Chains A and B, each alone.
Chain A
C-alpha cells in the first residue's frame, strides 16, 4: 500500500482510475483528469456556506411549490387545479400506481430528501460540528440525486399549458412561479456543493 502524507492525499479519477496527488488550487480553480477530462475536485473554500444558503432557500420555496396549485384551469364554470401531490394522486386513482410512484419519487420524494439532507448536514458543518449519521446521509444523497427531476417537470408544465390552451382557459398558478425559483435555487445549490471539500471539512471538525 502506498502511504501518502496527510496534507497531500492521493485521489483517483472516478471515471478512468488514474491516481493523482492532491495539490492546492488557485482560488476558484478546478482540477481535471488529464487522461479522460473528468472533474477531480474544485477549490471552494466557502462551499458549506454557499450551498447552505441556496438549499435552505430552496427548501422554503419547495414548501411554497407544494402548497399552491401549479396550473389552474377554467372551463364553463368548472374550476380545477393541479398541485404536485394531486398530479401523482390522479395517476394512482387511474390504476397507474407504478407511474404514480415514479412521478411522486422524481418530483416530491427525491427533491425533499435531497434538500432536507443538505440543510441538515451543511447547517451542522457550518457550526463546526460533526453531523451524526454524516456518512450514511452522504451516501443517501448520492443515491437520490439522479432521481430528482424538478426541471423536467417544469418543462412538462409548459407543454401541458400549450396542449390545453385550445380547450380551456389555463392560468399558471402561484406554484408555477415558485417552481421556477426552486429550479434556479436547486441548480445553484448543486453547483456550489463539492463533496470532496465537504468530506475534508467533516474530517477537520472536532470529534464530539
Chain B
C-alpha cells in the first residue's frame, strides 16, 4: 500500500504528493477536492478517469462483437440493370485493387480492416497490462495509447465513401447505390473503439510502477 504523503525522495507523482490533476484544464489541486468541481474550470475532479477499466472493457467487447457483422454484411448495395451486387468492406478493397488503384486499395485496407483490428488489439494489451500490474515497456505502451487517438479516426473512411456514393448515384441513373446493414455495424465499431480509447486512462499503467517503487 502506498502512503498518502510520501517522502520527498519518492518519485513525485501527483498521487504521492496528495494532488489531483484536472482532466480538462490540467490544474493541480489538493486531493481533498476529489469529485468536487475544479477551482479553475469547474470540471469535476477525478484522481483517474472514472470507472476507466470497466468502461473500456465494455466498449471494447461491444466493438469486438460488432466487428464480425461489420465485415460479413454488405456495406453497400448496388442495383443496376445488370442485377444487384452486395459489397462488403473486403470486396470493396478487391474492386479497387482490380481496377488498378492499388495505392488506394491499400489505403482502404489499412483504414478499414487493419486499423480497427490493431486498435482493439492495442487496447486489449493495455488493459491486460493494467490488470496484471505489468511494468513491461510501459513507456512504449503509453506511446501506443497516443497512437490510438491519431489512427482511430481513419476507420471512418469507408463510411464516408458509402455515404458519398449513395448521395451521387441515385435513382434515374444506370445504377442506384444504397448503404447496407454492414455500414451501420461498421460505424458502431468505429464509435465504440473511439469511446473505448477515450475511456482508458494511461496513468493506470504507471500506477503499478509507482506502487512497486514505494
Find out whether the CB atom of B183 lies under 8 angstroms from the CB atom of A12: no
Pick out which of these stretches binds chain A: B23-31, B51-59, B61-69, B117-125: B23-31
Find out whether the CB atom of A135 lies under 8 angstroms from the CB atom of B168: no
* A7 contacts the other chain (CB 8 A): no
Pick out which of these stretches binds chain B: A35-43, A112-120, A183-191: A35-43
Checking A35, A135, A136, A156 against B161 with a beta-carbon cut-off of 8 angstroms, the contacting residue is A156
Find out whether the CB atom of B145 lies under 8 angstroms from the CB atom of A156: no
Bound CA–CA A129/B20 (angstroms): 29
Find out whether the CB atom of B178 lies under 8 angstroms from the CB atom of A94: yes
Bound CA–CA A76/B174 (angstroms): 9
Cβ–Cβ < 8 Å partners of A99 in chain B? 159, 163, 179, 183-184, 187
Find out whether the CB atom of B99 lies under 8 angstroms from the CB atom of A19: no
Checking A75, A76, A87, A138 against B25 with a beta-carbon cut-off of 8 angstroms, the contacting residue is A138
Cβ–Cβ < 8 Å partners of A78 in chain B? 172-173
Cβ–Cβ < 8 Å partners of B187 in chain A? 98-99, 102
Interface size of B as a range = 35 or more
Find out whether the CB atom of A38 lies under 8 angstroms from the CB atom of B142: yes
Name which residue of chain A comes closest to B142, CB basis. Answer: A36
CB of B196 to closest CB in A, whole Å: 12
Checking A19, A73, A166 against B28 with a beta-carbon cut-off of 8 angstroms, the contacting residue is A19
Checking A35, A73, A168 against B139 with a beta-carbon cut-off of 8 angstroms, the contacting residue is A35
Interface residue SS majority, chain B: helix
Find out whether the CB atom of A195 lies under 8 angstroms from the CB atom of B164: no
Bound CA–CA A195/B41 (angstroms): 12
Name which residue of chain A comes closest to B164, CB basis. Answer: A160
CB of B184 to closest CB in A, whole Å: 6
Bound CA–CA A155/B161 (angstroms): 9
CB of A183 to closest CB in B, whole Å: 13
Checking B28, B165, B184 against A12 with a beta-carbon cut-off of 8 angstroms, the contacting residue is B28
Cβ–Cβ < 8 Å partners of B174 in chain A? 75-76, 167
Bound CA–CA A106/B156 (angstroms): 9
Find out whether the CB atom of A146 lies under 8 angstroms from the CB atom of B198: yes
Name which residue of chain B comes closest to A20, CB basis. Answer: B12
Find out whether the CB atom of B12 lies under 8 angstroms from the CB atom of A19: yes
Find out whether the CB atom of B164 lies under 8 angstroms from the CB atom of A157: yes
What is the 8 Å Cβ interface bit string for chain B, positions 144-186, against chain A (1 contact, 0 not)? 0110010001101111110111111110111100110001100
Cβ–Cβ < 8 Å partners of B170 in chain A? 80, 90
Bound CA–CA A99/B11 (angstroms): 47
Find out whether the CB atom of B43 lies under 8 angstroms from the CB atom of A139: yes
Name which residue of chain B comes closest to A196, CB basis. Answer: B26
Cβ–Cβ < 8 Å partners of B166 in chain A? 90-91, 94
* A177 contacts the other chain (CB 8 A): no
- Max chain B C-beta neighbours (<10 A), residue from A19, A80, A167: A19
Find out whether the CB atom of A164 lies under 8 angstroms from the CB atom of B169: yes
Checking B40, B172, B184 against A135 with a beta-carbon cut-off of 8 angstroms, the contacting residue is B40
Given A2-B17, A17-B13, A164 and B142 contact (CB-CB distance below 8 Å): no
CB of B143 to closest CB in A, whole Å: 6
Cβ–Cβ < 8 Å partners of B19 in chain A? 1-2, 10, 12, 19
Find out whether the CB atom of A195 lies under 8 angstroms from the CB atom of B26: yes
Name which residue of chain B comes closest to A102, CB basis. Answer: B187
* B71 contacts the other chain (CB 8 A): no
Write 24 A-B pairs (CB below 8 A) sorted by A numbering.
A2-B17, A15-B142, A15-B146, A15-B203, A16-B138, A16-B142, A16-B203, A18-B12, A19-B13, A19-B19, A90-B163, A96-B179, A99-B183, A99-B184, A135-B43, A138-B25, A152-B111, A156-B156, A156-B163, A159-B108, A160-B165, A162-B101, A170-B168, A199-B26
Beyond A36-B143, A107-B160, A146-B153, 16 extra complex contacts between A and B, CB < 8 Å: A15-B206, A16-B138, A80-B168, A82-B167, A88-B163, A90-B166, A103-B159, A103-B160, A135-B41, A139-B25, A149-B153, A153-B156, A156-B158, A160-B165, A164-B168, A199-B27
